[in-house]
Amino acid sequence: MPTPDTALSGRAEPMPVPKAHFVNGNPLRGPFPAHLEQAIFGMGCFWGVERKFWQVEGVFTTAAGYAAGLTPNPSYQEVCGGRTGHNEVVLVVFDPAKVGYEDLLTVFWEGHDPTQGMRQGNDTGTQYRSGIYTSDELQASAATVSRDAYQLMLQEAGFGTITTEIIPAAEFYYAEEYHQQYLAKNPGGYCGLGGTGVRCPGTDAV
């Protein structure tokens, strides 16, 4: 991981993105309606991750982007070069009256392998690490409790230790326009996600 002295300097201008979500037509950028909440997850390549979350009932909008690094407004090429510290993440804006944060955590844990460190499947690099980036203490507590519960199930199934970082969310930087809702625009595109197959008892999430 880069340090503040070795990270790329980035730029002041944010990446231009479409005004509306390609799938559901809702705004891609805020400000969002006051009753909505936000969550940020890193699960490997953000193309497949974003599709998982936009399919969840109660999710208002999603966006691919970068977070948990040092470089302001990084480009995809810079993130892939490993000198920004950023992770490929997805911003999930949701209605808590329709879907709970705990439900989104279920999608997170059961949608990828959180034991692989700086990789996800064939995708290797710091930008593919597993991460939960929390907006408040309630999210942080829920994420920690769910991690501990899934660690027990993964251990019983023969998997290793969860490497997911759970840290407060810093600034979310939108990825370039072509990354937004990529798999809706390119149905045959690469996904790269593969879960452990371990599910929380009583759920049907995959």
pLDDT tens digits along 145-159: 999 999 999 999 999
DSSP state of 128: G
CA torsion angle for 157, 109, 88, 100 (degrees, to 10)?
180
CATH architecture, range 37-185 = 2-Layer Sandwich (3.30)
pLDDT digits (tens, 9 = 90+) for 28-87: 999 999 999 999 999 999 999 999 999 999 999 999 999 999 999 999 999 999 999 999
Q: Has residue 198 got a pLDDT over 80?
A: no
Mind telling me the catalytic residues?
45
Query: Which tokens is 202 given?
Result: 């009583």
Q: What is the pLDDT of residue 189?
A: 80
Task: Please check whether residue 182 is in contact with residue 49, taking contact to mean a CB–CB distance below 8 angstroms.
Answer: no
Q: Quick one: pLDDT band at residue 190, thresholds 50, 70, 90?
A: confident
User: What would the mean pLDDT of 155-176 be, rounded to a whole number?
Assistant: 96
What's the alpha-carbon Rg for the chain, to the nearest Å? Answer: 16
What is d(CA 121, CA 85) in angstroms, rounded to the nearest whole number?
20
Domains of the chain by residue range? 37-185
Q: Has residue 144 got a pLDDT over 80?
A: yes
**Which residue in 107, 111, 114, 142 sits closest to 128, CA to CA?**
114
Average pLDDT over the chain reads 94
Tokens 């810079």 map to which residue?
Answer: 78
What is d(CA 6, CA 49) in angstroms, rounded to the nearest whole number?
29
SS3 19: coil
Q: Centre a 10 Å sphere on the Cβ of residue 43 and count the other Cβ atoms it contains.
A: 31
Q: What is the pLDDT of residue 146?
A: 98
Q: Quick one: pLDDT band at residue 197, thresholds 50, 70, 90?
A: low
Q: What is the pLDDT of residue 193?
A: 74
Q: What is the pLDDT of residue 199?
A: 60
Print the SS3 string covering 136-178.
Answer: CHHHHHHHHHHHHHHHHHHHHCCCCCCCCEEEECCCCEECCHH
Query: Which tokens is 167 given?
Result: 């840290």
Task: Please check whether residue 50 is in contact with residue 181, taking contact to mean a CB–CB distance below 8 angstroms.
Answer: yes
Q: What is the pLDDT of residue 201?
A: 52
Q: What is the pLDDT of residue 71?
A: 98
